[in-house]
């Protein structure tokens, strides 16, 4: 389902080059729930953005469902991403001037109109946000923002969810809710990759991979 072959990413900055990913290899099966855990700065966000088609690696290949995602133009890649991948960003990336339901509807713009407002409202109800649908996202608590972000990631019914520190900024109660939503998606056959510095999500993972300085640690 997800395959990385010798993926490296070097950021060129005016202070020098930073090797954020160093020849990473990964295979995630369809329906698998994988957690990649490592300290801040080890390359987790870089890895997830690369898998999500938003950051081209310096070297190596990334295949999603057999498709080399950086082999196609950015437009095709964006469409492929919208149809197949739900991405939960580390800092939510909600659009501040849109309300909650409009934020959830955002991915609808990039694909054939399969799902509409009714689906967005159904998701938000499921995520206990019925009474916040018309609020601007700047008016939400952190937990509500994260639930909105997950609803948006699920909107197009993707086969893959990629989540960057989905419980990072949440209190335990809200963190539990988020992890349960991810687990529900997984139980329904979805593929999940979570990158995180914490242990919260481990309990549901089929596999935990440890990452450090741009590399995966050898499994024992």
70 backbone dihedrals φ, ψ, rounded to 5°: -100, 10
What b/e string do you get for 95-122 counting C-beta neighbours within 10 Å, with b at 16 or more? eeeebbbbbbbbbbeebeeebeeebbbe
Stretch that binds Mg ion, among 18-26, 36-44, 92-100, 186-194 (CB under 5 A): 36-44
191 binds Mg ion (CB under 5 A): no
167 binds ligand ADP (CB under 6 A): no
11 binds ligand ADP (CB under 6 A): yes
Contact present, 96 and 148 (Cβ < 8 Å): no
Report what 148 binds from ligand ADP, Mg ion, none; CB cut-off 5-8 Å by kind. none
Give the residue with the Cβ less far from ligand ADP, 190 or 214. Answer: 214
24 SS3 class: strand
Residue 105 beta carbon to Mg ion: minimum distance, rounded to whole angstroms: 27
What does the CA dihedral 208, 210, 216, 219 come to, rounded to 10 degrees? -70
Residue 75 beta carbon to Mg ion: minimum distance, rounded to whole angstroms: 27
Number of residues located near ligand ADP, criterion CB under 6 A: 12
Give the residue with the Cβ less far from Mg ion, 44 or 77. Answer: 44
> Any bridge partners for residue 12, and if so which?
17
Give the residue with the Cβ less far from ligand ADP, 5 or 22. Answer: 22
Q: For residue 119, is it left (φ>0), alpha (ψ between -120 and 50) or beta?
A: alpha
Residue 17 beta carbon to ligand ADP: minimum distance, rounded to whole angstroms: 9
40 binds ligand ADP (CB under 6 A): yes
Give the residue with the Cβ less far from ligand ADP, 41 or 60. Answer: 41
Closest CA to 20 of 10, 29, 12, 28: 10
Report what 43 binds from Mg ion, ligand ADP, none; CB cut-off 5-8 Å by kind. ligand ADP
Residues contacting residue 79 through CB under 8 Å, at least 6 positions apart: 110, 111
Rounded to whole angstroms, the Cα distance separating 167 from 110 reads 27
Give the residue with the Cβ less far from ligand ADP, 67 or 197. Answer: 197
- Residues near Mg ion (CB under 5 A) are 44-45
Give me the residues that bind ligand ADP (CB under 6 A), please.
Answer: 11, 13, 18, 20, 38, 40-46
């Amino acid at each position: 389902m997800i395959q990385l072959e010798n993926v490296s990413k070097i950021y060129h900055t005016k202070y020098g080059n930073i090797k954020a990913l160093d020849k990473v290899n990964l295979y995630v099966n369809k329906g698998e729930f994988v957690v990649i855990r490592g300290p801040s700065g080890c390359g987790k966000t870089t890895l997830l953005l690369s898998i999500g088609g938003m950051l081209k690696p310096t070297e190596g290949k990334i295949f999603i469902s057999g498709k080399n995602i950086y082999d196609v133009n950015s437009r095709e890649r964006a469409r492929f991403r919208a149809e197949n991948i739900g991405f939960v960003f580390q800092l939510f990336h909600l659009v501040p001037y849109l309300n909650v339901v409009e934020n959830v509807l955002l991915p609808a713009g990039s694909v054939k109109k399969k799902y509409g407002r009714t689906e967005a409202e159904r998701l938000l109800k499921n995520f206990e946000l019925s009474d916040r649908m018309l609020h601007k996202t700047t008016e939400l608590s952190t937990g509500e923002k994260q639930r909105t972000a997950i609803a948006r990631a699920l909107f197009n019914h993707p086969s893959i969810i990629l989540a960057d520190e989905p419980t990072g900024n949440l209190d335990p109660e809200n963190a539990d809710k988020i992890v349960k939503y991810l687990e529900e998606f997984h139980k329904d056959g979805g593929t999940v990759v979570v990158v995180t510095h914490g242990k919260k999500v481990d309990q549901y993972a089929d596999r935990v991979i440890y990452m450090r300085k741009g590399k995966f640690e050898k499994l024992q």
